[in-house]
Structure 1
Amino acid sequence: MKKILIIACCACCISYLHAQKSVDLQECRQLALEHNKSLKIAEENVRAAQSLSKAAFAEFFPNISAYGTYRHNQKNLSLLGEDAHLPVGMMDAGGNFGTGITETSLPTPNADGTFSFKESAINNKFTLVNGQAVPLDTQGNPFDPQQNPEKLLWKNYALLPKDAMAFDIQNIFVGGISFVQPVFMGGKIIQLNTIAKSNQRIAEARVQKTAEELLVNVDEAYWRVVSVENKVRLAKEYRNLVAQLDTNMQALQEEGLATKADALKVKVKLNEADVSLTKAENGLNLSRMALNQLCGLPLEEAVELKDAELEESIDVQPPVSIEQAWANRPEVKMLAQAGNIAEANKKMMVSRFMPTVALTGGYVTTNPNVFNGYEKKFNGMFTVGVTAVVPLFHFGEKIHTLNASRAQAVVAKLQLEEAKEKIELQIHQDTYRIGESLKKQEMTRKNVEKAQENLMYAQEGFDAGVITSTDLLMAQTAWLSARSEYIDATVDVKLNNVYLKKSTGTLYQE
């Protein structure tokens, strides 16, 4: 049964090892670029900036819109409070227009609604006789045209009923199409397009900046895993050396050739080696999880790195001119575009002092309409016109905003100059660091050779009984320290080369 379990465990381990994914640095970079959320956010911001740039360009074209309105009113509109009478004119033989009433018979209105004449008075009121409206004569009696027709003087006046001057406005419909075409806006639209394009370029530069930071993080995590893997192997080798020494010390103690203190001293070193190995293994697991998180892989997935042997061969960053580095760096690109935005904003503040001219027009229709009397149907007309707005006085508000925009333009220029100075300093620092790390790598390589030789002689001396276990432990510790420093120096060379590429703006171009 135990054999079966052992065979099953071995089969599982073999299948696990075969299932490991083997990747190199470039594959890790590509995975990170494909799965990183911050980079995707920056790319979406680029798409948003492109849409806003297109929207700003659309301001050059006319704005066409349709509109419609319905309103219900409680009351109708009436121009007269009551029925009115208008004099009826006639043309005399001399071609003069008159009312047919003598000067002595001109009416004057009274407070009771009647008209007074010099000769007689007339009444413009009606009464109902057998359900029919009958006018009243001058004495206020129902008028009978067959008897005394001269008593009614209305023959010289026309009746204007109140209902004839009442208009139905309870349901009103208004609709139409209008357009506004900018003709001269003082340069506002041009500067708005400049700002929109600069914002788009800033978003693109921010994508480059985000990608460069991501690549640096991936490289750091990748080489950290490689470093810790090598240190885990080193810790295992060191632990095996101490374990072998512990076995020898136990044998010497049993033979009486070593004291118990010497044996305990080796035991302490063995325990320290076990603790160091455990810490290194835990650090390796956490480093792999960090790399998997950057690459978008499951945290527990085992990934085998192709550069685990940590070779010294490296492509050192070729020299790049400062001007070319400025042109490559996303920070300089963003600050340069920020300066363009500040200049465009200053010009927009100047345009506020200028007049604006726009062409307007459209078609409007209403129901009811008054184009041909008062009609309860739709009718409309075309309109066209020019609108101009000239600013006259603003109590200094526009002048102050113009001064503020000028100051912002100066600030943007100074920020760009400061960033260029810092980038130049950063490039020199990273260049010196590469030189230092290469020298350190060479020195630690020699130290490893010397420590290896020293350990060999110490082991031979201990086996020959010439040196003590303490000297051998010191030789082993020196060997461990030299190997560890060499690993760190080799990783520093690779990372400093990455930092120099980032400083010169060539990391993202790769």
Structure 2
Amino acid sequence: MKKALVYLILCCTALPAGAQTLTLDECRAAAAEHNRTLRDGRFELEAALQTRREALTGYFPQVSATGGVFQAQHGLVQADFGMTIPQLGTMNLPLSMVKRGIVGGITAVQPVFAGLKIVNGNKLARLGEEVGRLQLQKTESEVREQTDAYYWQVVSLRDNLSTIEAVERQLEEIHRQVELSVKAGLVTTNDLLRVELRQQEIASNRLKVENGLKVSKMLLAQHIGVDWRAFDVAAAEFGQPEAPAAFYVPVEEALDNRAEYRLAEKNVEAQKYRKRMERGKRLPTVGVGAGYLYYNVTDKDVDDGLVFAQVSVPISDWWGGAHALKKARIREQQAENDRLQAREMLAVEIERTWSEVQESYAQILLTRRSVTSAAENLRQNRNFYQAGTAPLTDLLDAETLYTRSRNDFTSACAAYRTSLARYMRVTGR
């Protein structure tokens, strides 16, 4: 109770007025809203959506308008006009026409068949949007995992600081007792120097932990998009972690949930569409259209409407088309090979992460027993020293073992929480 009160006072005095304290769930929510990596992912998804909408316009008629005026130095139409006059005979008269004019027109062409390039282009664009969503889902999982890692790192360092505070109080009491013994002539000043050296070592460790805690809080604050100067993690403890068996998912089931594997599948599908588009480049294109034409080149307004059909056959593209199509088939085979490799490697990653979860949980059980043993060893050596049956070095060694066991237990708890967060990500949850 006294320890909790001291910790609360330290937290209240360390934070400025109006500072916010966030729990793990609140940190996750803040990261989902403010994390800059996630924002980039949303921008990429929005760009993919605009690409899909752009591809949809390929079904619409292609409308174009042209217009212009011209002023020639001489008439564009030059000719000699022969005329026969009875008294004068035949004579050639020069004729010059179309020296200036205005032309303009508008046409609309509706594609009827374009080698399926428009159809496959739209399918590819929709696939790009699906890929953007999967990429965003993958980024969300990574951001959540990193948020948990930063959060539990802060909790771990804060727990280490609490352990240091407890050790400092113990050393102060030991120092007081040894100082009295030195004054009474029961021990030499060497024992007092040993205690003071240990106190200096603990002070050095405190400085390292405090600096590490500050940096970890800054990283977490930047990650979730808050001001680190007015932010702190709410009081949290590792507590009694749940056994990992409750979180296990079969590998095959987890693979189907992984965004990375689904992205590999989408890549295979995309290569199929690209192959079809490559084939479509060698097919004829057919379109129908209508237009309106206006011109005035002889000081007379002329306008007319027209309808037309056009067929385009890319004959020269056939020369290199066979090689381009073979290359597209190779890319498709490569994508399928990458998909199989991704499935195998993701399965290895899931199994390895599960082993890390089990190992870190086992470390918690081992270090908890070590803390119990170290605490009992410290209690006995303190009693022995007070009774005069054990030297000071044994007491200081017992205190060192206790501090190390407490820190090992804290590290094991943080490692378990972090590995569990990673396992949740690699199993698609």
Q: Does the pair score TM above 0.5?
A: yes
For residue 134 of structure 2, what is the aligned residue in structure 1? 205
Q: 1:358, CA displacement in angstroms?
A: 1.5
For residue 311 of structure 1, what is the aligned residue in structure 2? 239
Q: 1:339, CA displacement in angstroms?
A: 1.4
Q: 1:123, CA displacement in angstroms?
A: 5.6
Change (3 A) 1:466 1:351: same
For residue 423 of structure 1, what is the aligned residue in structure 2? 346
Change (3 A) 1:180 1:227: same
CA distance in 1, matches of 2:319, 2:251: 45
CA distance in 2, matches of 1:255, 1:314: 53
Q: 1:17, CA displacement in angstroms?
A: 6.6
- The answer to whether residue 117 in structure 2 is matched with residue 180 in structure 1 is no
* The one of 366, 370, 386 aligned to 1:463: 386
Of all paired residues, the percent bearing the same amino acid is 26
Deviation by residue 1:418-444 (Cα, 9 ceiling, x = unmatched):
111111111111112111111111111
For residue 358 of structure 2, what is the aligned residue in structure 1? 435
CA distance in 1, matches of 2:268, 2:13: 61
For residue 268 of structure 2, what is the aligned residue in structure 1? 339
Change (3 A) 1:378 1:208: same
- The answer to whether residue 267 in structure 2 is matched with residue 267 in structure 1 is no
- Given residue 412 of structure 1, which amino acid in structure 2 is its aligned partner? A
- Given residue 294 of structure 2, which amino acid in structure 1 is its aligned partner? T
SS of 2:383's equivalent in the other structure is helix
For residue 35 of structure 1, what is the aligned residue in structure 2? 34
For residue 96 of structure 2, what is the aligned residue in structure 1? 166
Bigger mean CA deviation after superposition, 381-390 or 450-459: 381-390
Q: 1:71, CA displacement in angstroms?
A: 1.8
Matches within 5 A, 1:93-492: 124=88, 162=94, 165-167=95-97, 169-307=98-236, 309-314=237-242, 316=244, 318-368=247-297, 375-394=298-317, 396-492=319-415
Bigger mean CA deviation after superposition, 434-443 or 392-401: 392-401
SS of 2:228's equivalent in the other structure is coil
Change (3 A) 1:256 1:201: same
CA distance in 1, matches of 2:339, 2:21: 44
For residue 25 of structure 1, what is the aligned residue in structure 2? 24
For residue 110 of structure 1, what is the aligned residue in structure 2? none
Show structure 2 runs of 5+ residues with no match: 1-8
CA distance in 2, matches of 1:389, 1:315: 69
Structure ranking higher in helix proportion: 2
- Given residue 458 of structure 1, which amino acid in structure 2 is its aligned partner? N
Bigger radius of gyration among the two: 1
8 Å CA contact retained: 2:282, 2:318: no
Deviation by residue 1:354-395 (Cα, 9 ceiling, x = unmatched):
222111321111112xxxxxx413222112222112233557
CA distance in 2, matches of 1:304, 1:363: 71
Change (3 A) 1:16 1:500: closer
CA distance in 2, matches of 1:231, 1:14: 19
8 Å CA contact retained: 1:20, 1:304: no
- Given residue 436 of structure 1, which amino acid in structure 2 is its aligned partner? E
Change (3 A) 1:467 1:35: same
8 Å CA contact retained: 2:271, 2:335: yes
- Given residue 404 of structure 1, which amino acid in structure 2 is its aligned partner? K
For residue 136 of structure 1, what is the aligned residue in structure 2? none
For residue 82 of structure 2, what is the aligned residue in structure 1? 84
CA distance in 2, matches of 1:45, 1:35: 16
CA distance in 1, matches of 2:77, 2:160: 101
- Given residue 285 of structure 1, which amino acid in structure 2 is its aligned partner? K
- Given residue 416 of structure 2, which amino acid in structure 1 is its aligned partner? V
- Given residue 232 of structure 2, which amino acid in structure 1 is its aligned partner? V
CA distance in 1, matches of 2:126, 2:243: 37
SS of 1:380's equivalent in the other structure is strand
8 Å CA contact retained: 1:221, 1:287: yes
Q: 1:320, CA displacement in angstroms?
A: 2.8
For residue 54 of structure 1, what is the aligned residue in structure 2? 53
8 Å CA contact retained: 1:73, 1:171: yes
For residue 117 of structure 1, what is the aligned residue in structure 2? none
Q: 1:306, CA displacement in angstroms?
A: 3.6
- Given residue 105 of structure 2, which amino acid in structure 1 is its aligned partner? G
8 Å CA contact retained: 1:312, 1:490: no
Change (3 A) 1:197 1:77: closer
SS of 2:109's equivalent in the other structure is strand
For residue 151 of structure 1, what is the aligned residue in structure 2? none
CA distance in 1, matches of 2:56, 2:341: 33
8 Å CA contact retained: 1:246, 1:270: no
For residue 3 of structure 2, what is the aligned residue in structure 1? none
- Given residue 214 of structure 2, which amino acid in structure 1 is its aligned partner? N
Q: 1:299, CA displacement in angstroms?
A: 2.5
- Given residue 343 of structure 2, which amino acid in structure 1 is its aligned partner? K
Q: 1:274, CA displacement in angstroms?
A: 0.9
SS of 1:300's equivalent in the other structure is helix
